[in-house]
């Protein structure tokens, strides 16, 4: 899968050829976390603050959406459609960007998390979706990406008949992963910051869900000649299934950029030890992660993505994954609004 018959300038030039709407507050901060390092008895910890990308609480999806909205504008679309979980950060950020650009937004919410309550269904990202004026639709299944995309297409067809010009951001991995391009750009940003500050890291810890952030970052680092290890913390699927997902996204990036893939199969590292009982469901180590990040670095995480990723980092430190002198970077993908939807589950009775 690995081939390096092109230069870094080729990668940057091909990335620049895609239409893009620049809204994110970039570069995001790169900060050391000495208090957390002491609490976890780690050598050195850093955080890449993609919770600071701006736009309605920010998060990693802002980088991704710059490319989708670039394509939508090029197609003269006036309405954006997206599908995701009830507490989807992606959907909330899409609604925000649509409004900033004077477009309408339709969000389809999927039933991915069992045993939800009124707080989950009305607070957090759902509250913001409504505040931003998005039109909400509902899909009764949570593990049917093909069906969810098809339902979204049907909504788009209805909107077209009404005179709208819809653009669909699909969920399934068989569609071109435009959003992953945002994390190739993020890889370059990180390497530039590291060069300027001397902040070298041995490993990056990142959430791995849709695969766009994980695969885009890994692809970008390898394409830009960085060998830093990237470990994806599984937040939706087990490691076997997630490896398949990341591989598909890497292949999609390769096709978009029309260059050989710089990522070797053995470069895809995943950890699913903090996933149970499943997507969007709380566990004890995630509770601990939320508390320790807040009480050491005033770093606010969410229970679904960044919190479980911090839980993964904590678990890997305790397993002895890193050498005693390792510098590890935690990639904060945001998602804080979802915290309020889990307010009754964060602290045990």
Question: What residues are paired with 185 via a beta bridge?
Answer: none
- CA torsion 11-202-191-269 (nearest 10°) is 30
Across the range 191-208, mean pLDDT stands at 94
Phi, psi of 85 (to 5 degrees): -65, 165
Residue 3 CA to residue 6 CA, distance in Å, equals 8
Token look-up 């870094």 returns 8
User: In the structure encoding, which two tokens stand for residue 187, read together?
Assistant: 């890889």
Residue 167 CA to residue 337 CA, distance in Å, equals 26
The domains of the chain, with CATH numbers, are 8-59+177-341 (3.40.50.1100), 64-169 (3.40.50.1100)
Give catalytic residue positions: 88
β pairing state of 44-49 and 30-32? antiparallel
First and final CA of the chain: distance in angstroms? 50
* pLDDT surpassing 80 at residue 5: no
Q: What element of type H or E holds 341?
A: helix 337-341
Phi, psi of 72 (to 5 degrees): -65, -40
More confident residue, 5 or 323: 323
Percent of the chain with pLDDT over 90: 94
pLDDT level of residue 38 (50, 70, 90 thresholds): very high
Residue 283 CA to residue 280 CA, distance in Å, equals 10
pLDDT level of residue 9 (50, 70, 90 thresholds): confident
Residue 274 CA to residue 98 CA, distance in Å, equals 34
Residue 171 CA to residue 69 CA, distance in Å, equals 15
What per-residue confidence (pLDDT) applies to 316? 98
Across the range 164-187, mean pLDDT stands at 97
Please give the angle made by the CA atoms of 299, 302 and 306, to the nearest 5 degrees.
Answer: 75
What per-residue confidence (pLDDT) applies to 299? 98
What separation in angstroms does the CA of 340 have from each of 22, 99, 118, 159, 346? 29, 23, 12, 33, 9
What separation in angstroms does the CA of 236 have from each of 27, 36, 182, 308, 331? 28, 26, 21, 10, 17
Beta carbons within 10 angstroms of residue 116's beta carbon: 14
* pLDDT surpassing 80 at residue 295: yes
Predicted confidence (pLDDT) per residue in 238-261, tens digit = 999 999 999 999 999 999 999 999
Across the range 292-301, mean pLDDT stands at 98
Residue 268 CA to residue 17 CA, distance in Å, equals 27
β pairing state of 135-139 and 79-85? unpaired
Token look-up 């009775």 returns 349
- Sequence-distant (6+) residues with CB within 8 A of 268 are 218, 232, 243, 246, 247, 250
């Amino acid at each position: 899968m690995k081939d390096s018959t092109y230069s870094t300038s080729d990668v940057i030039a091909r990335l620049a050829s895609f239409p893009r709407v620049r809204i994110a507050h970039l570069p995001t901060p790169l900060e050391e976390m000495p208090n957390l390092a002491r609490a976890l008895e780690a050598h050195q910890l850093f955080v890449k603050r993609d919770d600071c990308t701006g736009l309605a609480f920010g998060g990693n999806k802002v980088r991704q959406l710059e490319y989708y909205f670039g394509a939508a504008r090029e197609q003269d679309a006036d309405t954006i459609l997206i599908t995701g979980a009830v507490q989807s950060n992606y959907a909330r950020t899409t609604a925000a960007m649509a409004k900033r650009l004077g477009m309408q937004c339709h969000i389809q919410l999927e039933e991915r998390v069992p045993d939800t309550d009124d707080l989950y269904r009305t607070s957090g990202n759902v509250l913001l979706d409504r505040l931003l004026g998005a039109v909400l639709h509902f899909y009764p299944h949570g593990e049917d990406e093909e069906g969810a995309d098809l339902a979204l297409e049907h909504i788009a067809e209805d909107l077209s008949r009404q005179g709208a010009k819809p653009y669909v951001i699909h969920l399934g991995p068989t569609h071109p992963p435009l959003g992953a391009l945002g994390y190739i750009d993020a890889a370059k940003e990180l390497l530039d910051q590291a060069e300027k500050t001397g902040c070298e890291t041995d490993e990056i810890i990142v959430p791995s869900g849709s695969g766009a952030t994980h695969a885009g970052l890994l692809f970008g680092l390898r394409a830009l000649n960085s060998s830093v290890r990237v470990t994806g913390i599984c937040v939706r699927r087990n490691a076997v299934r997630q490896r398949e997902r990341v591989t598909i996204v890497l292949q999609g990036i390769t096709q978009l950029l029309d260059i050989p893939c710089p990522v070797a199969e053995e470069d895809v590292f995943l950890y699913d030890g903090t996933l149970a009982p499943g997507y969007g469901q709380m566990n004890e180590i995630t509770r601990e992660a939320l508390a320790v990040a807040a009480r050491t670095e005033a770093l606010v995480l969410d229970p679904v993505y960044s919190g479980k990723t911090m839980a993964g980092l904590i678990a890997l430190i305790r397993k002895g994954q890193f050498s005693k002198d390792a510098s590890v970077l935690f990639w904060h993908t945001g998602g804080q609004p979802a915290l309020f939807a889990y307010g009754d589950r964060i602290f045990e009775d």
